[in-house]
Amino acid sequence: MTIEFRNADPSEYREALDVVSTAFLDRPNLDALAEAVRERWDPARTWIAVDGTRIAGVFHSWPTEVTVPGGSTLTAAAVGPVTVLPTHRRRGILRGLAAAEDRAIRERGEAVGLLHASEYGIYGRYGYGPATRAADWSIKTVAAGKVHGAASGSIELLAAADAATASTLKAVFDASRRRHPGEIARRDRDWDLYLGIEEAPWGSRWKGWVAVHRDDAGEPDGYVRYTAESTEHDLLPGGTLAVNEIVGLTEAAYAGLLRFVLEVDLVQTVKLENRPETERARWLVGNARAVSNGASWDSVWVRLFDVRAALEARRYERPGRLVLEVIDDGAPDGRQCLLLEADADGARCTTTDRSPDLTVPVAALGAAYLGGTRLRDIVVATGVDEHRDGALAQADALFRTVDEPYCSTHF
């Protein structure tokens, strides 16, 4: 039977979510979940694959913007959830769903697509590349010693599930995310879940604490959200404090918040969740050996849909001139040739009929775009054609950034 790919009607959301939960091995309250997403999912951005009368696959996205190197932002489609029933694997369903949304993204004029991949080997086939990484960190409080630098400003505990607290945190986060490549704009529903204002449709509610750092003038310039578990070992405190999120607009604000969580009573271990691989905490404490890196993973995958606009929007930390041929199944003729010129005044990217210096798949370019993944590394898997000696090394250096891109928002 032929598979039909089309936009979902809100009346079909419950069945679509049943497909999602089946594929992701979960059993939430589908009625509550469907009711919640009915207000949030745009039918025009929700694609389903229908086999006869049954939904067999789902592909959803929502609009956001992403900060790119240099501080500019680009319109983006944040993709998720994406899934196919286990009974319908290897029938081209995911490819059909992705193609439908890819066309819609281009029609909407969104420059890039973003997603978190449940499995590493899937999305490279659809033009996405691993662009940011994240890691969990652990700090032994007794061994860490003092946080370097003199304390400044003040720390204040705020009521978590409170509109005023949400407003304060939103303002700080928005200022921060515009400074850091890879960060995206958050939806109001993200804040409702992060602060425990709303119970998650899958049945849990965040229960923790919020502390804000204020500068010497009393203005909020950082915050931390955390949960904790109190335990004892041989009658000694052995609690674990999990930092769900920590944001500082200045080094002093970040250090002040780190100092605060390390000094909370009854805590033996502080865990920093979903942080950059270049986490600053190890350098801010007196004993760097007290800070260890646990799991790390590929975080946000990037696909460039408007390659020319994306390349021109970001800034480059060194000058360069390069003719790139980008292979992209979704683009007209499956490829485009672009002249990229970067200098201190910015970047210019134009179509050209010149012979390319380098031919790269769009997935490799997406991986390298934010500056965190080395082009020379990702092309080991994706392939590359170097038409001029040294072109790959030049492109690798051109796209790299000193600061690691990072996304603190999971979607």
Structure tokens at 170: 């939103």
Assess whether the previous peptide bond of 81 is cis (omega < 30° from 0): yes
Quote the strand ranges of 186-314, DSSP E.
209-214, 220-229, 232-233, 236-237, 239-248, 267-275, 291-298, 300-304
Catalytic residue among 123, 173, 194, 406: 123
Task: DSSP letter for 88, please.
Answer: G
CA distance 188 to 40: 10
Sign of CA pseudo-dihedral 269, 274, 278, 284: negative
Distances (CA, A) of 367 to 67, 132, 371, 400: 15, 8, 8, 11
CA distance 242 to 256: 17
CA distance 116 to 366: 14
**Catalytic residue at 260?**
no
CA distance 90 to 275: 35
Note whether 165 and 195 are within 8 A (CB): yes
Sign of CA pseudo-dihedral 399, 400, 405, 410: positive
Quote the strand ranges of 276-379, DSSP E.
291-298, 300-304, 320-327, 335-343, 346-351, 358-361
**Catalytic residue at 13?**
no
Known catalytic residues are 123, 411
